[in-house]
Structure 1
Amino acid sequence: MNTIIPKQAVSQLKKSLDNFKLNDAIELCSNEAQTRKFLIEPFFLMLNYESNNLIPEYNADFGERVSQKIDYAILLNKKETILVEAKKHSTKLTDKEAGQLNGYFGNTKNSKIAVLTNGVEYRFYSDVIEPNIIDSKPFFCFNISNYCESDIESLIRFDKRYINVLNIVKSAQEIVFADSFENAFFKELVAPSKDLLKIIHRNMTFTSKFNEETQGKMINQINSSLLKCMYDKKLQLEAMSNSQGVITTELEIQAYHIIRTLLIQNKKIPKERIGFKDFKSFFNISVDDSTKKVICKLVFSDSKMKITIENNEYLLENIDDLMKYKNELTNRALALVS
């Protein structure tokens, strides 16, 4: 079950981050111990972890090797622990350094999340690919010196009051799966395997022998022009599928024009990149007509009107109430057009 995070909690975290005097804190840090005191501990305090939750020099259950301790362990409850490896603030973090967490991670069976940080950048890892072994890449990164609205909305999920490790790991699994699929698919497009070519050849209406010459011709066909053509055809197919039984109402169009007008008041948001797509039960306003770049979702029925911006859902008394959410809509669009 997903935890509902109040809008005011996100706003409070943003305020705390915005008010944190990062440069002053960095000036006080000449070693790792000072980085912990002036950067790392205040960061987790902003996420509502107290000193009894953040345990330094935590013994990660190495049996006789008790001298090997993790820099911090965040004790969520009796069953769940987050491990934190700390570096000096000037250290440039790399994913290779996350490998240092593997020993601790494998020996602390109640840990599913590990954090590598230098007090400025925070990299969150899990063991999605192989149990008890840190993934090679983080599923979420947060930089306290450079963040946007969507970063804060992701970070709030780690707040002590709302954290749900199971849900976070599930989200990490989705991220890793999507990234893995995209990489594998791209690899096939760049250097198509014989197996892929054979499947395509089998489905072609043009009859020919599947030999080296045919394979060469097929490989030459797989280029950016072909992919653009396939993309356009896929969009048309989705539009036809989604439009069956869909009636775009005058109120939805009116809402679209209000929101679009609010957005393009910001010169960084190109008007030609803002569009909409109507579905049977909702109405999306997005960037580049992409389902991955949804600015907001509208649900208008006879009984209620509702707008959802990322994970925040608001009821509207009338269409003009959309004006109240100009800042949220703008911040969301800016994050997507960049």
Structure 2
Amino acid sequence: MDFIDVIKALAEKVSRMKETIQTEEATKTAFVMPFIAALGYDVFNPLEVIPEFIADLGIKKGEKVDYCIQKEGQPIIIVECKHWKEELNVHNSQLHRYFHVCSTRFGILTNGIIYRFYTDLEEPNKMDNKPFWEFDITDMSEAAIAELKKYQKKTFDVDQILSAATELKYTREIKKLLASEFNVPSEHFVRLFAKQIYSGPVTAKVMEQFTPMVKKSIQQHISDLISDRLKSALSNETEAAKKEQEQALENVVAATEAVKVEFTEIEQEGYYIIKSILRVKIDAARLSYRDTTRYLNILLDDTIRKTVCRLHLNGTKKYIGLMDEEGKETRFEIENIDDIYRYTDQLLKTVMRFEGKVEPQEI
């Protein structure tokens, strides 16, 4: 099972079972241990995942962190767990103390649903007060799952994670500030726009006038962005539906014309001549035909949109139909089947056009 599927399965389990989990120990067993196992660590190997890891604090002995994950005998992550109903904010200082005495760069505070990741970006060996990353396992995006993969046993790299942690930390804070400003614009934020638009002094009255306008402009801009995204998505869906309809129509036409159609001996000969001509440029296996009551279609990649030519060979007069760039057919009369070779250059150019290649002109 892929990592993304493992995490989604755990998320479904957490959502389904949480109301039955009554204790902190049950939260660890049902939610947190499977999470650690999902990262590839053996939760039953005390050399890899140490439960109740001793983190003595000076004269205060017997302090223990719930789990210490080790790699090659060295602590890499400490995990402090709480009951799933508990608010994590009140337990931040506890993990902070453990982090100070453990030789690890990463700490996780979790209630089995919310996971907060900490490190020491601001001051070496001292855990930052704010997490650099946080997620709800029951509501994870694919991008978040991809970020979580960095903590897997097989890919864990301190330098790589620290580099990502810096960006995660500050983008998270910037997003929070933007959300706050968009919801209730601060005086500084409003003044930033007013000074660039209003020609006179930015007085208290001007600020009072601009504040609701800034908020309204932001909301309208976000609405426009969403609208543009929706239009683009609908356009793509419309184009996909159009292609499906075209293909369905092709299939109906092919099925209809297949009734009472005979792939005659002269058509077979013409088809093999076309394959012989074009195999110098493409794999002959990419060519196919669709026989109709009126002509034989020679196709590239079995699609009517890549019709190489048409052979009209079953009537009194015989023709080869060549296709221009717009798919329009021009017929040329041939006296016998070997006359097809006279149109070698045109056939090759048609195929090269489908391949997106232009043959060099002779000098």
Give the TM-score normalised by structure 2: 0.50
How big is the shift at 1:173?
2.5
- Residue 156 (structure 2) pairs with residue 183 (structure 1): no
Q: Which amino acid aligns with 1:225?
A: S
Q: 1:92 aligns with which of 56, 72, 86?
A: 86
Residue equivalent to 1:43: 35
Structure of greater Rg: 2
- Residue 170 (structure 2) pairs with residue 167 (structure 1): no
Do the aligned partners of 1:113 and 1:124 also contact (CA within 8 Å) in 2? no
Distance 2:11 2:196 in 1: 57
Counterpart mapping for 1:319-330 below 5 A:
none
Do the aligned partners of 2:132 and 2:172 also contact (CA within 8 Å) in 1? no
SS of corresponding position for 1:85: strand
Counterpart mapping for 1:132-211 below 5 A:
132-137=126-131, 139-143=133-137, 149-188=142-181, 190-193=184-187, 197=191, 200=193, 202-204=195-197, 207-211=199-203
**Residues 17 and 213 of structure 1: CA distance in aligned 2, closer, same or farther (over 3 Å):** closer
Q: Which amino acid aligns with 2:65?
A: I
How big is the shift at 1:37?
4.0
Do the aligned partners of 1:82 and 1:111 also contact (CA within 8 Å) in 2? yes
SS of corresponding position for 1:62: coil
How big is the shift at 1:67?
1.1
Flag the structure with higher helix content. Answer: 2
Do the aligned partners of 1:201 and 1:210 also contact (CA within 8 Å) in 2? yes
Q: 2:76 aligns with which of 74, 81, 84?
A: 81
- Residue 120 (structure 2) pairs with residue 125 (structure 1): no
SS of corresponding position for 2:105: strand
Q: CA RMSD in A?
A: 4.4
- Residue 98 (structure 2) pairs with residue 104 (structure 1): yes
**Residues 129 and 188 of structure 1: CA distance in aligned 2, closer, same or farther (over 3 Å):** farther
Residue equivalent to 1:222: 214
Instruction: Report Cα offsets for 1:50-77 as digits up to 9, x if no partner.
Output: 2221111212252332211111111134
Instruction: Report Cα offsets for 1:197-216 as digits up to 9, x if no partner.
Output: 2x545544x64234333333
SS of corresponding position for 1:222: helix
Count of paired positions: 232
- Residue 143 (structure 2) pairs with residue 114 (structure 1): no
Do the aligned partners of 1:84 and 1:114 also contact (CA within 8 Å) in 2? yes
Residue equivalent to 1:326: none
Give the TM-score normalised by structure 1: 0.53
Distance 1:188 1:146 in 2: 25
Report which structure shows greater RCO (CA 8 Å, sep ≥6).
Answer: 1
How big is the shift at 1:161?
0.8
Distance 1:95 1:42 in 2: 23
**Residues 261 and 148 of structure 1: CA distance in aligned 2, closer, same or farther (over 3 Å):** farther
Do the aligned partners of 2:108 and 2:117 also contact (CA within 8 Å) in 1? yes
Distance 2:65 2:132 in 1: 18
Distance 2:149 2:238 in 1: 26
Q: Which amino acid aligns with 1:107?
A: V
Distance 1:148 1:226 in 2: 25
Q: Which amino acid aligns with 2:153?
A: K
Identity value in percent: 18
Distance 1:53 1:93 in 2: 29
Structure 2 stretches of 5 or more lacking a match?
Answer: 245-300, 304-363
